């Protein structure tokens, strides 16, 4: 599946506070819509990414509160918060002006959030190459 990721890119939209997620992705047919400029994206003239991810360590409460509300306003399809201390991924589907927790991604069909959490836990015990190899094996088994 095509995807285009942007790191620390700022997003602006009139009437909504500017945001800068840790990572954002344009996925599938939207991958080609990702802007070439990765510093500031004007969401009044460019589409919003499909997925925004925040890495929540000291910012967990803000990521689950204020930022979640802001991403609802921006109409992001999915929003994930990686709880570093709790070794969990808290994933939200955004629709109809609100959001709800989900256990499986809608923009990455078939991806169970529990699989990401297991990868996060494994990353505490082994190096990244082994975690990536394990993840790829999980995807190949599907």
Q: 65 lies in a domain?
A: yes
Which of 69, 92, 71, 88 has its CA nearest to residue 22? Answer: 71
Q: Which domain holds residue 8?
A: 3-111
Q: For residue 76, how many other CB atoms are within 10 A of its CB?
A: 25
Quote the pTM value: 0.90
Evaluate if residue 97 carries a pLDDT over 80. yes
Does a structural domain hold residue 22?
A: yes
For residue 42, give the CATH number of its domain: 3.90.1570.10
pLDDT tier, 80 (very low <50, low <70, confident <90, very high otherwise): very high
What does the CA dihedral 15, 42, 52, 110 come to, rounded to 10 degrees? Answer: 110
Q: What is the mean pLDDT of residues 27-50?
A: 87
Backbone angles phi, psi at 57, to 5 degrees: -115, -85
* Count of structural domains within the chain: 1
For residue 75, pLDDT over 80 is answered with yes
Whether 121 is in a domain gets the answer no
**For residue 142, what pLDDT is reported?**
60
Q: What is the per-residue pLDDT for 37?
A: 67
Lowest mean pLDDT across 35-44, 53-62, 118-127? 35-44
- Chain segment 4-25, per-residue pLDDT in tens: 999 889 999 999 889 999 999 9
| Residue 12 placed within a domain | yes
């Amino acid at each position: 599946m095509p995807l285009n990721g942007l790191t620390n890119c700022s997003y602006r939209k009139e009437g909504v506070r500017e945001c800068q997620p840790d990572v954002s992705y344009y996925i599938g047919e939207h991958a080609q819509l990702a802007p070439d400029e990765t510093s500031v994206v004007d969401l009044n003239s460019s589409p919003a990414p499909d997925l925004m991810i925040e890495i929540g360590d000291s910012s967990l409460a803000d990521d689950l509160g204020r930022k979640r509300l802001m991403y609802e306003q921006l109409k992001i399809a999915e929003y994930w918060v990686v709880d570093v201390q709790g070794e969990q991924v808290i994933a939200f589907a955004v629709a109809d002006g609100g959001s709800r927790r989900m256990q499986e991604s809608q923009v990455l069909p078939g991806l169970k959030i529990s699989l990401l959490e297991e990868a996060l836990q494994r990353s505490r015990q082994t190096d990244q190459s082994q975690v990536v190899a394990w993840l790829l094996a999980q995807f190949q088994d599907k």
